């Protein structure tokens, strides 16, 4: 009986301490606010032509186009790379939004986010957003669109 009483006391202690300790393990996903770098350009083309030109530029730059729709939004990724063939896989995600400025001009907004492939304790393997170190891909897209519009 004495053994059961000590077991019960220890069990109650664990039950009371667990809510204080365990919330540190389960945390919210990393806040990615402010991770994006944004660039924009106004192209002297109607919306449909600017959409086609943007699609052509992404294909020329050999980017993987994940989503595209006629409303004017693209989600594209650079090819996955590793540093020294053994590092963590990484890529760049580009969200391109086309909005009609006037009947003959379109504004192209590009958001750049770096991504790494990995696993955390509470997530499945997937791409995770990180702060973009540069916006070279967005600048290349803008330069190509400038060349196509002139």
pLDDT at 126 over 80: yes
In a domain, 37, yes or no: yes
Judge whether 76 and 64 are in contact, CB under 8 Å. Answer: yes
Phi, psi of 146 (to 5 degrees): -60, -45
61: CATH: 3.30.310.80
CA angle 90, 99, 61 (to 5 degrees): 35
Query: Which of residues 133 and 85 earns the better pLDDT score?
Result: 133
Give the count of domains, the chain.
1
Determine the pLDDT at residue 26: 45
Judge whether 77 and 66 are in contact, CB under 8 Å. Answer: yes
Judge whether 130 and 35 are in contact, CB under 8 Å. Answer: yes
Query: Which of residues 52 and 11 earns the better pLDDT score?
Result: 52
For the packed helices 136-149 and 47-60, what is the interaxial angle rounded to 10 degrees?
130
Determine the pLDDT at residue 99: 95
Determine the pLDDT at residue 7: 63
Domain containing 105 equals 28-149
Task: Give the global pTM.
Answer: 0.73
Q: What percentage of the chain carries pLDDT values higher than 90?
A: 55
């Amino acid at each position: 009986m004495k053994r059961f009483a000590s077991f019960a006391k220890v069990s109650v202690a664990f039950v009371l301490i667990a809510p204080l300790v365990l919330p540190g393990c389960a945390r919210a996903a990393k806040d990615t606010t402010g991770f994006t770098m944004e660039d924009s350009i106004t192209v002297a083309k109607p919306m449909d032509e600017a959409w086609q030109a943007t699609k052509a530029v992404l294909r020329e730059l050999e980017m993987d186009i994940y989503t595209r729709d006629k409303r004017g939004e693209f989600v594209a990724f650079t090819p996955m790379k590793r540093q020294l063939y053994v590092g963590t896989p990484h890529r760049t995600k580009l969200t391109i939004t086309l909005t009609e400025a006037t009947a003959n001009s379109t504004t192209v907004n590009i958001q750049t986010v770096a991504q790494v492939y990995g696993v955390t304790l509470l997530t499945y393997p997937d791409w995770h957003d990180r702060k973009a170190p540069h916006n070279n891909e967005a600048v290349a897209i803008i330069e190509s669109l400038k060349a196509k519009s002139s």
